Structure 1
Amino acid sequence: MLKGIPASPGIVAGKAFLFDIRQLIVTEKDIKQDAVPSEITRFEEALIKTRSEILTIQKKISREMGAQHAEIFNAHLLVLEDRTLIEEIIEGLKKELKCVEYIFSKVIGKYIKVFSNMNDEYLKERTSDIEDVGKRILKNLIGAQEKTLSDLKEQVIVVAYDLSPSDTANMHKKNVIGFVTDIGGRTSHTAIMAKSLEIPAVVGLEKATVRIKTGDTLIVDGTEGIVIINPDKSVLKKYETKQQKFAEFGKILLDFKDILAATIDGHRVEISANIELPDEVDSVIAHGAEGIGLYRTEFLYMNRNDIPDEEEQFEAYKKVAAKLSKSPVIIRTLDLGGDKFLSQLKFPHEMNPFLGWRAIRFCLARPEIFKAQLRAMLRASVFGNVKIMFPMISGLGELRQAIKVLEEAKQELKNKKMNFNHDIEVGAMIEIPSAALTCDLLAKEVDFFSIGTNDLIQYSLAVDRANEKIAYLYRPTHPAVLRLIKNIIDSGHKENIWVGMCGEMAAESGFVLILLGLGLDEFSMSPLTIPEMKYVVSNVKFEDARKIAEEALSLPTGEEIEAFANKRLNEFIP
């Protein structure tokens, strides 16, 4: 049995197909000075052909899965248009007098190394974009035949070291019934595409391609992150039963997506969605979200060569607000910085970027960028129930500075006689221990809190969640984390403000009972998880959840708390 990271829920059994995506072999060849122009021409032709291939895949994905999933390939197209990369290859050709495929392989390898060494999990996993484009360009330079998953003739479970967006785009849902990979995480494109295709998947298995051969019988449990190789009949039978129960449970969940989230004894909470792009609103509505608890605005700034102006941002925010009408839309101000750098914003190199010039710190240092975004948000508030949230707040001083800039942005709009909601709600994201410990002070000056557990856990436990060697220490149920969460909720309620959570912890059904019992008012998560969370909430009493939270806080270790929470969840929802 292999244990990895659950990427897409569900259970499937079938034959393994080992998908060989080993690196193309590039030979180092010397060229003469007069051959440089023809090598540049070859490179340009390879770029054109690669662009055509990617556009074809993008259209296919848009047609079959929707425009929001096709946007994954915008990052690939931008790699092809990156002038710095292209000029570095051309300069390398002239200087080293080696064949273009060798120079290209060398340069793209450098870029891949830089991205793979980043601390930010999202950007680290974007390495696959560069690898995918690089592989395509090299294939076109050396004339290699492309291997794809589109020609499979029978149902298989794909086993690979990694799967690029192009690989997953070429999958035929009818014949690819599941997949497993050696590398990858919950936020990788592989995981995103698996969820969209509703295919069970497990990633981060490390040695799947070594342990599994084509033709082996596999069981893939994408819910638990387990892969079983060549199981006996009794194990197959056990998982067939489990698979049937999972399918039946999926049908039950569909009945819960449109209900209001309330416990058996009538305690109401809100279940909201996290989004990155305006096109995701359709999924938010389809899965029964009561609003948007986190709109990550930095994705408007990424994968481009310029900075979005106020008008472009206004149109993006307006589109979301208008579609959701009276439902709340919490827009987080820019959370760039650290490893989420943009060359056009001139971020400095930092020894410890996650503790550096990022989020609200960057925004306060660049008020012209900050104000343009705030004005866009304020203008969008006319079209819906928009709320503004400041990230990475470490204390009262930063919060007051941010609110001061917001007031200046309001005055600028007043001077221009532009409409906006003058009473727009303002909140703080609590994700730094210093904020969690002084939230009684912060609560007096905002309308709501949203707990960002991803960073709060990382900072509180001194654990880099992208570091595989210490991933076992990243535990949301650590007593220190739960005590901080309790303090945040209690402090907010004392000042009569509501408290939500937009980190991954809010989407874990095993933790819902504890969070519910602690008094959390709003849970925000991926749209796909919403029906399940509504189901869990509607099957418990609030009073029972309070007792579970109280007992959980009395336990000494995160392991014991997690085991206890799962045990109680199974008692309420077998």
Structure 2
Amino acid sequence: MTAAASARQILTGLHEVMAGRTHAQAKLDAVVEIIGESLDSEVCSIYLLREGALELYATRGLNPEAVHVTRLGLGEGLNGIIAANIATLNLAEAKAHPDFLYRPETGEDKFHSFAGVPIVYRERAVGTLCVQHVEPRRYEEVEIEALQTTAMVLSELIAHHELVDGEHALAFGEAHTGPEVLKGFALVKGLAAGGAVFHQPRVAIDQVMADDIEAERQRVYRAFDRMREQIDAMGREPEFGKGGEHDEVLETYKMFAYDEGWSRRINEAIDSGLTAEAAIERVQQRTRMRMREIDDPLLADRMHDLEDLSNRLLRIVSGQLGTAATQGLRRDTILIARNLGPAELLEYDRRRLKGVVLEEGSATSHVVIVARAMGVPVLGRVAGIGRLVSEGDEVLLDAEKGTVTLRPSQPMRDAFGARFEKTRARQATYAALRDVEPFTRCGTRINVMMNAGLRDDVSALQLTGADGIGLFRTEFQFLVSATLPQRERQQRLYRDVLDAAGDKPVVFRTVDIGGDKAVPYLSSEALDREENPAMGWRALRLSLEREGLLKAQARALLEAAAGRRLNVMFPMVSEPWEFDAAKAVFETQADFLRSRRKLLPEEIRYGAMLEVPALAEVLELIAPRLSFLSVGTNDLTQFLFAADRANPKLAERYDWLSPAILRFLDRVARGVVGYPIEIGVCGEMGGRRLEALALLGIGYRRLSITPASVGPIKELVRKIDLAEISAAMKEWLASPPPDMRAALTGWAQEHDIEID
């Protein structure tokens, strides 16, 4: 029997039970009998969340006296794990699971196999549905599918009969009052205040079981046609069609919109007896469960794009088409969403949209790319925001510190307002320095450059007055694309960046993908097995092995920079031969273009990133080959300390101002003295005022930082006498104080230098 047939058989029985006039307990007792008989299961049980615990509410096969007696906490026992993680379990031997918990009153000791699924309502688990057998075996996919579909129907029925209560009544819309501060992850930094507006009011599914399966199928077909028309129409909007990252985002949307596998899964759900709306929601629930199991941020972002389209399809098929964008924003707004698609963000009035808070989201997601270009602060990974805030609540968004305050008290408002005004005053001061060259008090010119990765980022050159782009991350184009970007598309991007930069230099770093920046179209068995991807097959290592990738990028850069200076930097160089091999690829491509009488760059300058500590030990060997050297402090720090910067327990444990880091950086700076090499720092360290002060004190005269940091660092430079800070740093590195950060802070205060 197919999954659809099994589910349809169960749903038919459920429909008859629910149409009856018996009370809720009798209906659930009948439900477990129907499911058990349909799946030939010796045990079928329903647990519901009541007063903070999972309560055995109905069972076939277990001791009936355990009903309303057996209770499990969230995360306790197999059912507790299912509810806590909103996950499915399928076990041939339940007792072998580390979270197995035996409750003697149930009489379940003779049963070995176990399968359970969460009962989800409004994206929260409100119970579990499970089956058990004496015989040890894993359940077939058809049985799991039937259980998941049944659980979806049960969720609506349980909600209708108000069987979930206590603290979990919040799942059914109980309002919150009083201030609340939630933590998140700053995706686009900034401060903002406004009223909470939900991006997408929930589509109410009034009917779960279908009366006419074929009619429901036709409704889905029509909805798919309309959704595809909308996606195609997006490509004709002003924001698209420019050959930039927006177009690449749209390509991913089209890939999903025309994916036959997605529409087939929805049709299979309709075959089981669900309405069009319920079928879409059913497939969406499966997608969410898969997303929770995905560790790869790139693949998770692809699933977010599919979720965005699922929401769009659900609104079309239900006739509930409006989002907050279509209804219009009437006041300064902080947008609240579980996740958000980039195209949907572009629909909002930019004068009213002040910030975005997401329950999910990641630094590489498509919506972040668009929000950064729009200048809208975004805070992601704010767990539970959707149920903790109400429409219209006052919200203070601090995407600098990574917090969002709901319903603030007056003291909270006053403190935020003062900080906001101080930030605006500082920004005005920094803006006034746009056309001022950053000379120190002693007359030394410091190069303050900016990092970029998108075509739209280049506009910040004029806004900030940066000296150029010290790091253009070419991998961004690869990360937002559904397929490997063709050479012509790469060339167009690089040429546009050079055109926009004008006379200011641009340093293009060759693609740094792999590791924690995996792309599905370059996946391999070797990549999939990596236990420590940051130190694995990535960056230049990947490019040298996949030489066709580097050849195409070399041709694109050489052709884009025809008649101009080209600055190329290779990432994650560990030994001189790697630099030589990469440079040889560029020289070979230049020879090829020369033989075709193509115009070449007037000058090609090659540089390396020092991220791997091993390169510091052979500086004198590689230095004669380099035009410039850039120290990548983000990766360098984690390699020096053997500490994964993505691990929250270690992310802030090792200080950039520790003697170990500063002594290493000092040795690198001294190691290139006497060579005609420009040495600088790329990364977050150079954009922090106290850290930048230390870098200037040990000899670095070129910093490449985020655009937002350019103004603050230019202002800092103008207050420094290099002789004074160099003398202090020399003394501290020779005999480190107990707290280097405290020592530097004290020195800055004595010299009237404001720190972060």
Q: TM-score range by the shorter chain?
A: 0.7 to 0.9
Three-state SS of the structure 1 residue aligned to 2:630 is: strand
Is 1:412 aligned to residue 592 of structure 2? yes
Is this contact kept in 2: 1:61–1:169, CA < 8 A?
Answer: no
Mapped pair 1:373 → 2:373: no
Residue number in structure 1 paired with 2:252: 78
Deviating more after overlay: 432-441 vs 291-300: 432-441
User: What secondary structure, in the 3-state scheme, does the structure 1 residue paired with 2:508 have?
Assistant: strand
1:445 to partner: Cα distance? 2.4
Within the candidate set 416, 429, 435, 2:615 is matched to 435
In the TM superposition, residue 347 of structure 1 has moved relative to its aligned partner by 3.4
CA contact (8 A) 1:24 1:135 kept: no
**So what's the TM-score if we normalise by structure 1?**
0.82
- CA distance in 2 between counterparts of 1:368 and 1:397 reads 19
Matched to 2:688, the amino acid is E
Residue 524 (structure 1) shift: 1.9
Q: C-alpha deviations, 1:508-545, integer Å up to 9, x for none? A: 33422122222223222333432333222223222344
Aligned residue type for 1:62? E
Consecutive unaligned residues of structure 2, counting only runs of 5 or more, are 1-180
After superposition, the Cα gap between the structure-2 partners of 1:243 and 1:364, relative to the gap in structure 1 and judged at 3 Å, is: closer
CA distance in 2, matches of 1:325, 1:96: 57
Task: Specify the alignment match of 2:754 in structure 1.
Answer: 573
How far does residue 263 in structure 1 lie from its aligned partner after superposition?
1.7
Equivalence for 1:534 = 714
- Residues 443-475 of structure 1 show CA distances to partners (whole Å, capped at 9, x for unaligned) of 232221122233223333344434445444365
Residue identity matched to 1:243: F
- Residues 494-513 of structure 1: pairs in structure 2 closer than 5 A: 494-513=674-693
Match of 1:324 among 470, 494, 501: 501
1:214/1:493 CA distance change after superposition, 3 Å? farther
Mapped to 2, the partners of 1:114 and 1:16 lie a distance apart of 29
1:562, 1:356 → 2: CA distance?
32
The 8 Å contact of residues 449 and 492 in structure 1, kept in 2 or not, is answered as no
Give the letter aligned to residue 292 of structure 1. I
Where do 1:384-423 residues align within 5 Å? 384-421=564-601, 423=603
Aligned partner of 1:516 in structure 2 is: 696
- Residue identity over aligned pairs, in percent, reads 27
Q: Which residue of 2 aligns with 1:296?
A: 473
TM-score (structure 2 length as normaliser): 0.64
Q: Relative to structure 1, is the Cα distance of residues 279 and 212 closer, same or farther in structure 2, using a 3 angstrom cutoff?
A: closer
Matched with 1:139 is 315
Question: Does the 8 A contact of 1:452 with 1:503 survive in 2?
Answer: yes
Aligned position for 1:87: 261
Report the 3-state secondary structure (helix = DSSP H, G, I; strand = E; otherwise coil) of the residue aligned with 1:425: strand
Is contact 1:217–1:229 with CA below 8 Å preserved after alignment?
yes
CA distance in 2, matches of 1:484, 1:124: 37
Equivalent residue letter for 2:305: D
- Which amino acid in the other structure matches residue 249 of structure 2? A
Q: Partners of 2:307 and 2:698 in 1: how far apart?
A: 44
Q: Paired residue for 2:149?
A: none
For the structure 1 residues 369 and 125, does the alpha-carbon distance in structure 2 shift closer, same or farther, using more than 3 Å as the test?
closer
1:359 correspondence with 2:536: no
Give the aligned residue type for 1:284: L
**1:269 aligned partner:** 446
Amino acid at match of 1:75: V
Answer whether contact 1:76 1:130 (CA < 8 A) is retained. Answer: no
The alignment yields a C-alpha RMSD, in angstroms, of 4.1
Matches within 5 A, 1:61-76: 62=239, 71-72=245-246, 74-76=248-250
Moved more, 265-274 or 76-85: 76-85
Q: Which moved more, 1:506-515 or 1:539-548?
A: 539-548
* Shift in alpha-carbon separation, 1:3–1:89, aligned structure 2, 3 A: closer
The whole-number CA distance in structure 2 between the counterparts of 1:27 and 1:433 is: 62
Mapping 1:220-239, distance limit 5 Å? 220-239=397-416
Please tell me whether residue 333 in structure 1 is matched to residue 510 in structure 2: yes
Going from structure 1 to structure 2, the CA distance change for 1:166 and 1:300 (only over 3 Å counts) comes to closer
Residue 377 (structure 1) shift? 1.9
Q: Over residues 529-567 of structure 1, what are the superposed CA-to-partner deviations in whole Å (9 max), with x where a residue is unaligned?
A: 32333222223222344356457756578xx44555566
Cα displacement string for residues 148-185 of structure 1 (whole angstroms, at most 9, x for unaligned residues): 25533333444555444355434434444444444445
Amino acid of the residue matched to residue 572 of structure 1? I
What corresponds to 1:350 in structure 2?
Answer: 528
Structure 1 residues 118 and 245: alpha-carbon distance in aligned structure 2, compared to 1, 3 A threshold: same
Q: Which structure features the higher share of helix residues?
A: 1
Q: Deviations over 1:61-113 (max 9, x none)?
A: 739xx979x84474254233249943364378469944676776666666666
Cα displacement (A) at 1:368: 2.9
Contact kept in structure 2, 1:201 and 1:221, CA below 8 Å: no
The secondary structure found in structure 2 opposite 1:272 is: strand
State which drifts further: 523-532 or 382-391: 523-532
Q: Which runs of 5+ in 1 are unaligned?
A: none
Work out whether 1:49 is the aligned partner of 2:230: no
Distance of 1:479 and 1:57 partners within structure 2: 53
One-letter amino acid of the counterpart of residue 423, structure 2? F
Distance 2:256 2:611 in 1: 34
One of 148, 160, 163 as aligned partner of 2:324: 148
Equivalent residue in structure 2 for 1:445, among 616, 622, 625: 625
Q: Which residue in 1 is equivalent to 2:461?
A: 284
1:20/1:160 contact within 8 Å kept: yes
Give the SS at the match of 1:273: strand
Alignment of 1:129-278 (within 5 A): 129-149=305-325, 150-166=327-343, 168-184=345-361, 188=365, 195-199=372-376, 202-206=379-383, 208-209=385-386, 212-214=389-391, 216-278=393-455
Q: Secondary structure, in 3 states, of the residue corresponding to 2:324?
A: coil
TM-fit CA distance, 1:299: 3.5
